[in-house]
Amino acid sequence: MILDGESLAKKVYLDVKKRVAELEEKGVRPGLCAIRVGSDPASQLYVGKKIRACENCGIKSKAVILDETAEESELISAIQKENEDPSTHGILIQLPLPSSIDTQIVIEAISPKKDVDGFHPFNVGRVATGVGGFPPCTPKGILRLLDEYGLDVRGKEVVIVGASRIAGRPTAELFLSRMATITVCHIETKDLAFHTRRAEILVVAVGRPGLITKEMISQGVVIVDVGVNRIIDSNNPRGFRVVGDVAPSCRERAYAWTPVPGGVGPMTVAMLLENTVIAAEASLTGITV
């Protein structure tokens, strides 16, 4: 079974549009500001997609683009300006940032109320303690997708490969909050296949095409492939194609899987818009998300 993130994202957008209209009746138009540093083509593409999705849903969006050589202080000033702007409800910093900039300092400069990517320690802490917060968009999108297809995670053996702050770790937190049993694998994991074979739900977020092969999984597993990798393809007009971290042959053994592209990626963008609407709604009530 294909877990179709593209279709579910469209459903999420219908709800987002409805909530945007309700907010507008109350005099608030949700606004998202995307800040990008430099001209990395992948970052340009991602920011473009997010801005277009906002426009389609009636969310006011803007992109602030700083030069590759911008100083950390310039970026912080741009964030502070958006923190103070009441028409901006969500701020996202497109990662990765140039190595001269300390990503953590930048993330912590965002007002937690506008941290719709859910990377600020305030939100990381609230999500981890189960009291609220903005969950990061990728893990939130993964769980929404599994819910949509009636795939209950409670009590399931969930193995997550990759332990980054933006993907693997918050995914583990969200699955734990839903009472799954979690194993997180990373670069130091001794026998990756031992763990992946035990998985009833396998989430892979590493960035290495073909890392997971058919021999490493069990029959009936649900595969969530977060990886986005460009590989050279001379038959493709663009000269490359996008693949995940899981070898296509794994589908033969899987009960369900997310395609790449068209699985987790569209859900990540949809959850960003949903978080922005939630931030705008919270700006009316003053309640901490």
Q: Which is catalytic among the residues 50, 113, 114, 140?
A: 50
Which of 99, 285 has the CB closer to ligand NAP?
99
Which of 23, 92 has the CB closer to ligand NAP?
92
- Residue 189 CB, nearest approach to ligand NAP (Å): 6
Active site (annotated) includes residue 219: no
Binding site for ligand NAP (CB under 6 A): 138, 161-164, 166-168, 185-187, 189, 192, 205-208, 211, 226-229, 264-265, 268
Q: C-alpha angle 24/26/27, rounded to 5°?
A: 65
- Residue 23 CB, nearest approach to ligand NAP (Å): 26
Phi (first) and psi of residue 3, to 5 degrees: -90, 100
The C-alpha atoms of residue 41 and residue 32 are separated, in whole angstroms, by 21
The C-alpha atoms of residue 114 and residue 89 are separated, in whole angstroms, by 5
Residues 6+ apart with CB under 8 A from 101: 37, 70, 72, 75
Active site (annotated) includes residue 94: yes
Which of 90, 168 has the CB closer to ligand NAP?
168
Which of 45, 179 has the CB closer to ligand NAP?
45
- Residue 143 CB, nearest approach to ligand NAP (Å): 13
- Residue 69 CB, nearest approach to ligand NAP (Å): 24
Q: C-alpha angle 65/68/74, rounded to 5°?
A: 65
Active site (annotated) includes residue 44: no
Beta bridge partners of 201: 158, 222
CA atoms within 13 A on the CB side of 72: 11
Residues recognised as catalytic: 50, 94, 117
